[in-house]
Structure 1
Amino acid sequence: SARGLMVSTFHTLGLNILRKEHSHLGYRPGFSIFDAQDSLAVLRDLMGRDFAADSEHAEKCQWQISEWKNQLILPDQAMSIAEDEQQASAAKVYQRYVDALKAYNAVDFDDLILKPVLLFREHAEVLKKWQARIHYLLVDEYQDTNGCQYELVKQLVGIREALTVVGDDDQSVYSWRGARPENLVQLQKDFPRLKLIKLEQNYRSMGRILRAANELISHNPHIFDKKLWSAMGEGDPIRVIGCRDDEHESEKVVSELLYHKLKNQADFKDYAILYRSNHQSRPIERVLREHNVPYFLSGGTSFFSRVEVKDIMAYLRLLANQDDDNAFLRVINTPRRGIGASTLQALGNYASKRNTSMFGACFEMGLAEQLSEKAMHKLEHFTKWLIDIADRAKRGNLMEAIRDMIEEIDYRAWLEEVTGDPNQATRRMDNVEELLTWIARIIDNDTVEQSIGDIASRLTLMDILERQEDENQADAVHLMTLHAAKGLEFPHVFIIGMEEEILPHRTSIEEDGIEEERRLAYVGITRAQRSLVFTLANSRKRYGEKTECENPKSIQKNVKNVAKHIYLIFAVC
């Protein structure tokens, strides 16, 4: 019955389109997808030619370019709409960034939506093919779509208008990522035949929880008015716990959780502790560990997603498979070897015409006609060195060859250069040593001799299994930000740090973003199924010093009306 059904995220759909239609956009097969760290490295390299490419400035430009891509603003438009010096800097590097990605035969995360939209604009026959493939389109979480995603939906639906969307403007909490809840309003203009169906009965939460959520969000303007209700009963009273400081708050939350678990014979996995910002989890984690309470920190950085681990893994992949263009592109200038984007573009074009890998193309005589003698020498030096390492690994001691490789590229010095901080470089190098320890264990524990390819595959599988084990841990308390909690549900929820400048966040108060803070709290409240607890503190440690917290204006001690309490926190600022 599910035959012909396609279920995917916007970005997965975009990737599928690009994989099938890449030639129309001038990309070669096997194009790379650059993550945020890869993209930032490209920007730093480009910006370094014009001005000091400090990390913060490069990151701001990266964010601005991403914002423009999400709203379908191309490089030629960006310069004309730049409103300040920061935007002008981003606009200046935007086109060169696009060109550099093309030279690397790569796209970034935002391109997975932008490129299909541009493809469909420029190639009507390709659009018709995809419209014929997708007869009916259902889009969930529509309030989180950005301008580019909305355009993709319009293109795919076409004149047939076989479209269903599900959305809640009260749960739009990603404006900082380009989300536009007003897309729900735009739907009525672009698709006037759409019928509105309100889903107001809630099958997750008890009545008290829903009334608190309704009271809170009623102070925001609405695209569509609604009022959640439940037929599941009132449930436990919502509790508000005042604490001396963040340490006391952590101890109180954990003790309340343990008491509630014992009293109700619940599991640890039934509990979630939600917070506005990641730093709030640290004291909670410490107390949980002290009490031997298992927990899962959602959004934690995977070992294999760290830049330094990805670098060394890319070297291993390329040693094992010289046809891996993605690995080649990652390591060719890690560390810098003076091989620029124009050289890589010429190499990529030549490799594509010859139907070979970029690594293999470096050994063909015809390449010398496309490159300068200096560029050719640099490529030959790198590829011959890598083949020598691969030969040493095959004929001699594998572990010794890998260590030699890391030493010969002087990776520690590279880390010091890119971080600008010897201590941070040491921490990153420790992760490399941890990776080498894992490799040594694989070699020592297997009776069959392992090749570099075997090791790279084993490590990748270990990463996948480790993530699955963490995420599916049988019984552990969930710790996550309110943003990460969106779409999830838990029987019992604690929301900590319910005080001004934390929730609502200081930046949102200063930038008149209180409505989104209400929506964020609304999301947190409606994650709870049976019980809900709020905590706030009189003081917190910030940057190593204790500072007094501003309790919500007009709030009275021992507030019994929780809905009023929340209202005061978010409405009176």
Structure 2
Amino acid sequence: MRYISGPLLVLAGAGSGKTSVITRKIAWLIQECGIPPARIAAVTFTNKAAREMKTRVSALLKGKESKGLTVSTFHTLGLNILRRDGHLLGYKKGFSIFDADDSLSLIRELMKDGSARAKGAAEKIQWQISAWKNALTTPQEAVALAAGDQTKTGAAFIYTEYTRNLLACNTLDFDDLILQPLRLLQTHADALTQWQNRIHYLLVDEYQDTNACQYELVKLIVRPRNALTVVGDDDQSVYAWRGAQPENLVHLQSDFTDLKVIKLEQNYRSTGRILKAANALIGNNPHIFEKRLWSQLGFGDPIRVMQSRDEEHEAERVVSQLLHHKFTQRTDFKDYALLYRGNHQARVFERALREQRIPYYLSGGTSFFERTEIRDVMAYFRLVSNPDDNNAFLRVANTPRREIGTNTLENLGNYATQRSLSLMDASFELGLTQHLNDRQLNALQRFTQWAVEMSDLAKEEDAATLARKIITDIRYDLWLEETCDNPKAAEKRMENVLELVAWMQRITTQDEDRSFADTVARISLLGMLDSADDSSGDQVMLMTLHAAKGLEFPHVFIVGMEEGLLPHRVS
């Protein structure tokens, strides 16, 4: 914690107190080393982890001393860099951020012009584009690398067009929030110097989950001071499938020759028996750094192994054992977790729990930001922030209905493509009269003129006030009443919309200088990083092993421990 003479790697085993290391080190840097909070940044991978870290630092510093401290996700840090300097790469203020569905929609649109549209093909191309971006591979390099491979050549062509379309729409996707800041700092020395002067000390959590892009960004920011602390554990790397490179821990030693390594091997979470089993399994892994977890919590209860005929029998036995244990030990349902490798395994356990009337919570359900009403309203906000956002335009042009049909949008789209314009800009062109009749043109321009007026208001109104005006103007409450099955459903969905506006109000209260566009970008990113599920209450937790990482439960059932399933056959 007190080591500041050079770059530091804290090799922290599971349950060894790594969050305490980071939070206490931040407090040490501020209180004992005299580094201003505004010159310190700590980055992690989820908003939940960032919030917890910030809360703990504030408690250590009694709140006031932490003013100006940056504790955020990698993607939020990238967003902040682009908010300030994105114009250097050709981005205009108010750029949009595509989520996975927006990205997939654009890829499918691009595949109409030649690529086969087999089931799952778009998703495979989306994954490949993300992998290329995380590996710092440009579209031009992807084309060269794909030579001779028909499938990859098609994906590389889509990648090229996809990149061109994003820039034309003043839009970034999730991966761009790391890739584009990196490219910006690599190609603009003045911007790099400003950010290096802004961040005098950088701390990184869950370092084994960083990809090539994130590692390069870290190296750029910390030079030349090399004032860096990273916390990681190669044995906890479970995200290789999405580009994580635990070998970045090895690269640290070659890139920072004066790196100091400190191991945290005492586990404060589990008993000795659990750690003995874990160490035996982990011992089979190829190791970058050797370590062995130990505990002072006693040896603990035996680990039970239950054999079952099939998955139905397994679910029946697990639920029966859970009920028996609960009533004999007087525990709560929330003390239990059922963990599995893949989401598809949950169904049979859900059925068994329902049959016994046991309350449960299924992790990974529909996120707040995935609800139809939230996606509708966010698309309006995105369009007002960034009139070039064609995806947002298409989603809301006739929602609620305003007599802008598919024929109007198809003709507008064809004309916009011919003229290399956004849909919004194309709607005001005189030449459009040759493609739409008077009724179609009037309906379209009533909508686009209103959107332009809202964009103008965004320059002077605060975010929450403008958000309420937009929702009132489009009469979204009436649209919900028309389209929902019953008044109660419409009321519930409108409450979700109002909660979104309240969220915007809280964000602008925290930062009064934040524009409408900045607020919309911030909320878009929250939706991609967080699932707004409510897992409170006395209920059994059902979740994947990936989702359970870092969580604690008194009693755990790991189900589906079968060859080919855990570990998965493609691991």
Identify whether the pair has TM-score above 0.5, normalized to the shorter chain: yes
- In structure 2, what is the equivalent of residue 59 of structure 1? 123
Structure 2 CA distance, aligned partners of 1:20 and 1:396? 32
Distance 2:172 2:323 in 1: 48
- Residue in 2 that maps onto 1:198: 263
Deviation at 1:228, TM superposition (A): 0.4
> Any idea what SS the aligned residue of 2:557 has?
strand
CA distance in 2, matches of 1:259, 1:237: 17
Q: Deviation digits for residues 509-558 of structure 1, max 9, x if unmatched?
A: xxxx3xxxxxxxxxxxxxxxxxxxxxxxxxxxxxxxxxxxxxxxxxxxxx
Query: Please, which of 31, 34, 42 is the counterpart of residue 98 of structure 2?
Result: 34
Tell me how far 1:299 sits from its aligned partner.
Answer: 1.1
Instruction: Please say if residues 95 and 385 of structure 2, whose CA atoms lie closer than 8 Å, have aligned partners that are also in contact.
Output: no
What secondary structure sits across from 2:182 in the alignment? helix
> 2-side partners of 1:399 and 1:455: how far apart?
11
User: For residue 501 of structure 1, what is the aligned residue in structure 2?
Assistant: 564
SS at match of 1:8: strand
* Matched residue, 1:178: 243
For 2:536, the aligned partner's letter is Q
* Amino-acid identity (%): 51
Q: Residue 132 of structure 1: CA displacement?
A: 0.9
1-10 or 180-189: which moved more?
A: 1-10
User: Distance in 2 between the 1:124 and 1:44 partners?
Assistant: 38
Query: CA 1:222/1:26 → structure 2, altered by over 3 Å: closer, same or farther?
Result: same
CA contact (8 A) 1:100 1:341 kept: no
- Say if 2:445 is the partner of 1:383: yes
Matched residue SS, 1:478: strand
Deviations 1:269-290 (A, max 9, x none): 2211100010111111112122
Letter in 2 for 1:323: V
* Pairing 1:68–2:132 present: yes
| 1:366-389 superposed Cα distances (whole Å, 9 cap, x missing partner) | x549x8954999776523367899
The farther-off stretch of 134-143 and 285-294 is: 285-294
Work out which of the residue numbers 467, 473, 487 in structure 1 matches 2:536.
473
Q: CA deviation at 1:476?
A: 1.7
Q: For residues 190 and 459 of structure 1, do their structure 2 counterparts lie closer, same or farther at Cα, with a shift above 3 Å needed?
A: closer
- Which residues of structure 2 form unaligned runs of 5+? 1-64, 396-405, 455-468, 505-522, 524-529
| Contact 1:272 1:493 (8 Å CA) reproduced | yes
| 1:291 to partner: Cα distance | 2.0
User: Is contact 1:140-1:165 (8 Å) kept?
Assistant: yes
Of the three residues 390, 404, 412, the one matched with 1:329 is 390
Q: Deviations over 1:188-215 (max 9, x none)?
A: 0001111000111111100000000000
User: Of 193, 202, 205, which residue of structure 2 is paired with 1:137?
Assistant: 202
Seen in structure 2, the aligned counterparts of structure 1 residues 29 and 386 have a Cα distance that, compared at 3 Å, is closer
Per-residue deviation, residues 341-372 of structure 1 (Å, max 9, x unmatched): 99389656xxxxxxxxx86x6786xx549x89
Q: Alignment partner of 1:61: what SS?
A: helix
One-letter code aligned to 1:254: V
- The residue correspondences of 1:161-240 to structure 2 (distance < 5 A) are 161-240=226-305
CA contact (8 A) 2:373 2:497 kept: no
Instruction: Please report how far the alpha carbon of residue 38 of structure 1 lies from its aligned counterpart in structure 2 after TM superposition.
Output: 0.5
Instruction: Report the AA paired with residue 489 of structure 1.
Output: E
1:14 equivalenced with 2:78 (yes/no): yes
Q: 1:327 to 1:310 in 2, by over 3 A?
A: farther
Find out whether 1:263 has 2:304 as its counterpart.
Answer: no
In structure 2, the residue matched to 1:343 is 416
Partner of 1:241: helix, strand, or coil? coil
The offset of 1:140, in angstroms, is 0.9
| 2:353 equivalent to 1:300 | no
CA contact (8 A) 1:210 1:229 kept: yes
Match of residue 484, structure 2, among 433, 448, 452: 433
DSSP-derived class of the 1:198 partner: strand
Offset, 1:332: 2.8
Change in CA separation of 1:462 and 1:258 when aligned onto 2, cut-off 3 Å: farther
Contact conserved, 1:243 with 1:249, CA < 8 A, in 2? yes
Q: Aligned Cα RMSD in Å?
A: 3.7
What is the distance in 1 between the residues matched to 2:554 and 2:388? 44
How many residue pairs get matched? 452
**How far did 1:21 drift?**
1.5
Partner of 1:471, secondary structure, is coil
CA displacement 1:117-174 (0-9 Å, x = unmatched): 0100111111111111111111111111100000000011111100111111111111
Change (3 A) 1:379 1:236: farther
Contact 1:35 1:108 in 2 (8 A): yes
Match of 2:190 among 114, 118, 125: 125
Q: How high is the TM-score relative to the length of structure 2?
A: 0.71
Question: 1:77 and 1:322 mapped to 2: Cα distance?
Answer: 32
Following the alignment from structure 2 to structure 1, what is the Cα–Cα distance between the partners of residues 377 and 268? 46
Give 2:219's match in structure 1, choosing from 145, 154, 158: 154
Q: Check whether the contact 2:178–2:213 (CA below 8 A) recurs between aligned residues.
A: yes
1:114 pairs with one of 179, 186, 193: 179
Matches of 1:27 and 1:376, distance apart in 2:
35
The aligned amino acid for 1:438 is A
Identify if the C-alpha distance between structure 1 residues 442 and 187 changes in structure 2 by more than 3 Å, giving closer, same or farther.
Answer: closer
Distance 2:293 2:339 in 1: 22
Tell me the amino acid that sits aligned with residue 337 of structure 1.
E
Using the alignment, how far apart are the partners of 1:119 and 1:214 within structure 2? 43
Q: Tell me how far apart the structure 1 counterparts of residues 116 and 95 of structure 2 sit (CA, whole Å).
A: 30
User: Relative to 1, partners in 2 of residues 1:123 and 1:304: Cα closer, same or farther, differing over 3 Å?
Assistant: closer
The one-letter code matched in structure 1 to 2:384 is D
* Residue of 468, 489, 498 corresponding to 1:457: 498
- C-alpha change, 1:190 and 1:397, in structure 2 (3 Å) is closer
Cα distance in 2 for partners of 1:396, 1:303 equals: 21
| Residue of structure 2 aligned with 1:491, choices 534, 545, 554 | 554
Calculate the TM-score normalised by the size of structure 1. 0.71
286 and 326 in structure 1: CA distance in 2 versus 1, 3 angstrom threshold: farther
Q: Give unmatched runs, 5+ long, in structure 1.
A: 349-357, 405-431, 444-453, 514-573
For residues 274 and 322 of structure 1, the distance between their equivalents in structure 2, rounded to whole angstroms, comes to 41
Q: Aligned in 2, Cα 1:244/1:116: closer, same or farther, shift over 3 Å?
A: same
Structure 2: how far apart are the matches of 1:326 and 1:161? 42
Alpha-carbon shift at residue 339 of structure 1 (Å): 4.0
Partners of 1:311 and 1:330 within 8 A in 2: no
